[in-house]
Structures are given as structure tokens and as C-alpha cells.
Amino acid sequence: MTPTLRIAVLGAGTVGAEVMRLLAEQREDLEHRIGAPYRVTGVAVRDLTRERGAHIPRELLTDDAKSLVADADIVVEVMGGIEPAGTLLLKAIASGASVVTANKALLAQQGAKLYEAADKNGVDIYYEAAVAGAIPLVRPIRESLAGDSVKRVLGIVNGTTNYILDAMSSTGQSFSQALAKAQELGYAEADPTADVDGLDAAAKAAILGSLAFHTRVSMADVTAEGIREISSADIRAAERMGRVVKLLSIAERLENGVSARVYPVMLRKNHPLASVGGAYNAVFVEAEAAGSLMFYGQGAGGAPTASAVLGDLVTAARNRVVSGHGPRESRYADLAIVPLSELHSRFYVSLQVHDRPGVLAAVASVLSENGISVATVHQEPLPGADGDEYAALEAVTHLASESAMQEALAQLANSESVARVLSVLRVEGE
Ligand code: NAP
Ligand code: HSE
């Protein structure tokens, strides 16, 4: 008779509640797939008094997460945050439990510690739900593409910002209006920092970069720019150029190492990622032999995320039943992290300039002195509050060095011809 697997769940919020529902409603099927019966030994929460619904009986609730993780075969961490989640998972691993987590922030900051502990203790750590919710992405990169050579992982991995940019584009709302709507619909949290400043997408870029390039990429290695500064004028400019603005997360293998970065880009409308609307996620994986693969689906939400958690749970449980193990952290390549300043991009630059003779030549001269070649220019009158005559001067460049562009922008900001640098966006997907 196979012993009953003991499952401890940390957190009963948006994701945890759905994990508990599926564990209850799908028990018969899940036990067949695992090859053993299971029992949820407890659900750790902060507030023991809150009603949690039929799938989380009151007697399972505990605020003693430490004791709960010390006595389990599998610990499912869906509480979020760095602490106490990190310490609890280390304790679970040290006690011999395998771990399933949806916590990208923790993995991107302290993944190394967790992977090493899991390795040392001979247990599994699975985290499909940490990147792009329901979309199977971690397992395809870690396992299905283990025989190939991944060149680039590029995608929309944050639903909240994609919703905001999509709403700005399709309804003409400002950033603040679209953010307020995203909060009303429950996409964005009360404190939207992690989403709108690109930090959530950066954590995911770190995880994807580590997996794809067999190299440790942590949060500190990812350059992240968010979408707070995207204006309605940027959205209109993109539209005029047959483009849309999207927040992309990019992990890329370069000749001299790995680059991981997150920033808003202008993307051609015929690029497959351009049509990803609302809070959906989509990721391109480009591999040497496989070519381009696209993954699309719901990147957030209780049930979609719980689907990924349950997939990991079944795998970890099966491994225990047959006394096997899943793949360990693979970091043999140990590639250097290439800073953003060493990369090249195409740029869209929008400037508020004084509308008078010689201004266009002055701007062109700054760009040319920095080795930046202009591909297209657009100019239109811009009403100025001080009665002076202004124009919005927009240029799209050919490929230019990031550091040269930073230098040119500093010079433009100090130029007498330029009243203000309005925005700078990278142009992708040519
Ligand atoms: P949530 O709704 O805020 O739920 C968090 C749960 O953890 C709550 O039940 C909370 O207890 C419990 N908790 C938090 N701190 C605790 C502590 N110190 N001790 C005991 N319990 C604690 O969060 P969520 O949206 O479900 O997200 C959970 C994780 O999944 C996060 O890592 C998140 O990044 C990840 N994730 C979420 C989504 C999504 O769409 N929501 C998608 C992908 C990944 P109380 O209920 O008592 O407050
Ligand atoms: N806040 C994230 C998003 C969901 O908006 O995509 C969890 O990864």
C-alpha cells in the first residue's frame, strides 16, 4: 500500500484558494495520476478568523507555518513575498519536503539558495506558476528544449501592464485612467509598483534567462524600465507608425554572454506579440534547431495559476512515489551578464523643440556626433504654455549603441534648441 502523501499549503489567497478547490474537486483523478492518495495537512494564513469557503475547512487553517512545513512531503508556497516565504521553504527542504512555488520575486532574488538546498537534500523544487501563470513555459524550456540551444526568450509576461497599454491604445485612456480601471477589474494591486515599474516582469526575465542559458541570472542582473512614463502621445505616435507599445521581457544569448532586460517597446502591428490584448501573456522562444515557438495564454488569476501549481504538484508527488527526482538547477554555462550599455537598439526619440531655424540641424548634429543614424523624422506643432512656438520632433533611429544614445540624450537635454526630452522608446521586431 502506497503511503499517503502529506501536502502543506502556505497561503489561501487568490491562488491558494483555487489550489485547494482543485485538490478537493479533482482528488480522484489527481490520485490516479500521482499513484498515491494525498492529504492536506494544513493551510497557513495570517488571519485565522476569515471564512475561506467550503474547500478550506477551518480546522486546516494555521498561523504556525513553521511547524506545518516541518512535517510534509510536499510544500506548496502561494503566500508570496520574500520573508517568511524564503525561510519557510528552506526549512521545508531541510526537513526533506519537495517544494512547489509560484513566487517569482523570491526565486529571482534568492533562487540560488533554494536550488542549492534542494540539491543538497535530494528534493525537488518546481515553479511553473512563477512565470506567465497558466502557460507551460518553465517545463518546455527546462525539459523539452534541453537538447536544443535557446537563443532568445522574448515576451509579454505581465498581464497588468499589457492590459493598461492595450486600454490606452484602444480607448485613448491616459496611463492613470487605464491603471485605475485595471485596479477596479482586479488586475492591478492597490500598490501597482511591481507591475508598472517592470519589476514583476524583471523577476520573470531572470527566471527565464537562468533556465534558457544554464546560467544564474538574478533580479539584480536585469535592467528594468516600466510603463509609468508612457504617454497618450507615445501611443498615438506608435499608431501613426503602424506600431503598438508593449512591455517586453527579453532574455538573450549574445556572443559575450547573456542579457536580460525589460522595457516598453514600439512593436510593428504585424508582429505576433502586437496582437496580444488585455491581460494575456505571450512568449516567443527562439532556439537554434526548433526555430521560433510561441506560447500564449492567461498569465495570472487564481484558477489559471493554480493549474500550473497543480501540474507541478502532481509531478513532484509522482517523483516521490517512485523515489525519483526532477531536473536540478542547470548552471554549467556560467555565462557573463552583458550590461544594457553594451547593447544596440533602434530608438524612437520625441523632443519638445523650439520651432525656429536651425533646430532640426542642431538635433541631427548631436545624433550624428554620437554615431547615431536617423531613419525617419516627423514633426508637428506643439502648443506651448508660455506663448513661445514649439514643435514635437520625433525621430526613429537605425541601430544605435545604448551608451551613445544615453550620451546624445544628455546633450540634447542641455541643448538650447530642445525644451524637453519628451520620451525615448526602443523599437523592436523589425
Ligand atoms: P494573495 O491573494 O495575497 O494571498 C496570499 C496568501 O498568503 C493569503 O492567504 C495570506 O494570508 C497568506 N500569507 C501571506 N503572508 C503570510 C504569512 N506571513 N504567514 C502566513 N500566511 C501568509 O496572493 P496571491 O495572488 O494568491 O499570490 C500568491 C503567490 O502567487 C505570489 O507569490 C504571487 O506572485 C504568485 N502568483 C500570483 C498570481 C496571481 O494571479 N494572483 C499569478 C502568478 C503567480 P491571509 O489570507 O490571512 O492574508
Ligand atoms: N501581477 C502579475 C501580472 C501576475 O499582472 O501579470 C502575477 O505574475
pLDDT, tens digit (0-9, with 9 covering 90-100), for 44-102: 999 999 999 899 999 999 999 999 999 999 999 999 999 999 999 999 999 999 999 99
Please report the pLDDT score of residue 392 as a whole number. 95
Q: Please name the residue whose Cα sits nearest to atom 2 of ligand 2.
A: 158
pLDDT at 249 over 90: yes
What's the 3-state SS for 357-400?
CCHHHHHHHHHHHCCCCEEEEEEEEEECCCCCEEEEEEEEECCE
Please report the pLDDT score of residue 385 as a whole number. 72
d(CA 60, CA 8): 10
Measured in whole angstroms, the distance separating CA 276 from the mean position of its chain's CA atoms is 15
d(CA 426, CA 399): 10
**157-165 mean pLDDT:** 96
Please report the pLDDT score of residue 191 as a whole number. 82
Question: How far is the centre of ligand 2, averaged over its atoms, from the C-alpha of 73 (Å)?
Answer: 28
- Please report, for residues 4, 182, 241, 376, the alpha-carbon distance to residue 26 in angstroms, rounded to integers and kept in the order given: 16, 32, 50, 57
Question: How far is the centre of ligand 2, averaged over its atoms, from the C-alpha of 227 (Å)?
Answer: 14
- Point out the ligand 2 atom lying closest to the alpha carbon of residue 204: 8
Measured in whole angstroms, the distance separating CA 416 from the mean position of its chain's CA atoms is 40
Report which bound ligand comes closest to the CA of 304: 1
Q: What is the pLDDT of residues 8-57, one digit of tens each?
A: 999 999 999 999 999 999 999 999 999 999 999 999 999 999 999 899 99
Q: Which helix (H) or strand (E) holds 235?
A: helix 232-240
State the cell numbers at 225.
524600465
| 202 close to 262: Cβ distance less than 8 angstroms | yes
Q: What is the pLDDT of residues 362-377, one digit of tens each?
A: 999 999 999 999 999 9
186 pLDDT band, cuts 50/70/90, is confident
Query: 91, 104, 181, 204: which is the annotated catalytic residue?
Result: 204
The string of DSSP letters for 274-320 reads: GG--TTEEEEEEEETTTEEEEEEEE-SSHHHHHHHHHHHHHHHHHHH
Give catalytic status of residue 269 as yes or no.
no
Q: For the beta carbon of residue 292, count every other beta carbon within 10 angstroms.
A: 12
Please report the pLDDT score of residue 384 as a whole number. 75
Question: CB of 84 closer than 6 A to ligand 1?
Answer: yes
Report which bound ligand comes closest to the CA of 158: 2
Q: What is the pLDDT of residues 108-129, one digit of tens each?
A: 999 999 999 999 999 999 999 9
Question: CB of 159 closer than 6 A to ligand 2?
Answer: yes
Domain ranges in the chain are 5-133+302-321, 144-297, 343-428
Question: CB of 208 closer than 6 A to ligand 1?
Answer: no
Question: CB of 61 closer than 6 A to ligand 1?
Answer: no
Above pLDDT 70, what percent of the chain?
A: 100
pLDDT at 383 over 90: no
Question: How far is the centre of ligand 2, averaged over its atoms, from the C-alpha of 68 (Å)?
Answer: 27
Please report the pLDDT score of residue 31 as a whole number. 98
Question: CB of 77 closer than 6 A to ligand 2?
Answer: no
Please report the pLDDT score of residue 418 as a whole number. 97
Question: How far is the centre of ligand 1, averaged over its atoms, from the C-alpha of 165 (Å)?
Answer: 26
Q: To 5 degrees, how large is the angle CA 305–CA 306–CA 310?
A: 125
Please report the pLDDT score of residue 171 as a whole number. 96
Question: CB of 394 closer than 6 A to ligand 2?
Answer: no
Same fold, 5-133+302-321 and 343-428: no
Question: CB of 83 closer than 6 A to ligand 1?
Answer: no
Q: For the beta carbon of residue 360, count every other beta carbon within 10 angstroms.
A: 16
187 pLDDT band, cuts 50/70/90, is confident
- Whose CA is closest to 106, among 128, 87, 121? 87
Q: What is the pLDDT of residues 304-359, one digit of tens each?
A: 999 999 999 999 999 999 999 999 999 999 999 999 999 999 999 999 999 999 99
Locus of grid cell 525615448:
424
d(CA 259, CA 257): 7
- Please report, for residues 37, 77, 100, 252, the alpha-carbon distance to residue 340 in angstroms, rounded to integers and kept in the order given: 50, 33, 32, 11
Question: How far is the centre of ligand 2, averaged over its atoms, from the C-alpha of 300 (Å)?
Answer: 5
Give 144's contacts (C-beta < 8 A, 6+ positions apart): none
- Whose CA is closest to 427, among 262, 158, 245, 284? 245
Q: What is the pLDDT of residues 408-428, one digit of tens each?
A: 999 999 999 999 999 999 999
pLDDT at 290 over 80: yes
What's the CATH number for 144-297? 3.30.360.10
d(CA 208, CA 202): 10
Question: CB of 44 closer than 6 A to ligand 1?
Answer: yes
pLDDT at 188 over 90: no
- Point out the ligand 2 atom lying closest to the alpha carbon of residue 157: 6
d(CA 428, CA 248): 9
Residue of 9, 305, 307 with the most ligand 1 atoms within 8 Å of its CB, for mutation: 305
Q: What is the pLDDT of residues 258-286, one digit of tens each?
A: 999 999 999 999 999 999 999 999 999 99
Q: Please name the residue whose Cα sits nearest to atom 21 of ligand 1.
A: 45
Query: Count H helices, E strands: the chain?
Result: 14, 17
Question: CB of 195 closer than 6 A to ligand 2?
Answer: yes
| 392 close to 425: Cβ distance less than 8 angstroms | no
- Mean pLDDT computed over every residue of the chain: 96
d(CA 414, CA 419): 9
Residue of 187, 196, 199, 283 with the most ligand 2 atoms within 8 Å of its CB, for mutation: 187
Question: How far is the centre of ligand 1, averaged over its atoms, from the C-alpha of 181 (Å)?
Answer: 22
Please report the pLDDT score of residue 411 as a whole number. 98
CATH fold of the domain at 5-133+302-321: Rossmann fold (3.40.50)
Measured in whole angstroms, the distance separating CA 55 from the mean position of its chain's CA atoms is 30
Question: CB of 86 closer than 6 A to ligand 1?
Answer: no
Full-model pTM: 0.96
Q: Please name the residue whose Cα sits nearest to atom 8 of ligand 2.
A: 300
**To which CATH superfamily is domain 343-428 assigned?**
ACT domain (3.30.70.260)
190 pLDDT band, cuts 50/70/90, is confident
213 pLDDT band, cuts 50/70/90, is very high
Please report the pLDDT score of residue 357 as a whole number. 93
Question: CB of 298 closer than 6 A to ligand 1?
Answer: no
Above pLDDT 90, what percent of the chain?
A: 94
d(CA 50, CA 310): 24
Is residue 1 helix, strand or coil? Answer: coil
